[in-house]
Amino acid sequence: MAVLESSAGRQACAGNAWGLGSCKGDYGTFASFDVGIDAVVKTLAGSLYKGLEPREVFCRWVSGDKTCSDSHSQDYAAKGLKMMEALN
């Protein structure tokens, strides 16, 4: 997600390389990447993402909707899954 959201942290806003909260509100910025990682892990481990397949996680992350109902979400999920596959 950090690659998709901030070019692997190169365009991160204050410790938020994952686009969590779009760098606004409660999740806007973090004191460090370590603090940001903790916030992302807690978010992904929460009930909103529980039981979702990877494609659904990417869709929900970018749009709030696990169904990828728009082309941006579909593209984001496809890129994320391709990156995951390359890491395996």
Tens-of-pLDDT digits for all 88 residues of the chain?
888 988 888 888 888 999 887 776 666 788 899 999 999 999 999 999 999 999 999 999 999 999 999 999 999 999 999 999 998 8
The pLDDT of residue 53 is 96
Burial of 16 (0-12, 13-18, 19+ CB in 10 A): buried
pTM for this entry = 0.86
The pLDDT of residue 25 is 63
Q: Could you tell me if residue 51 is left (phi over 0), alpha (psi between -120 and 50 degrees) or otherwise beta?
A: left
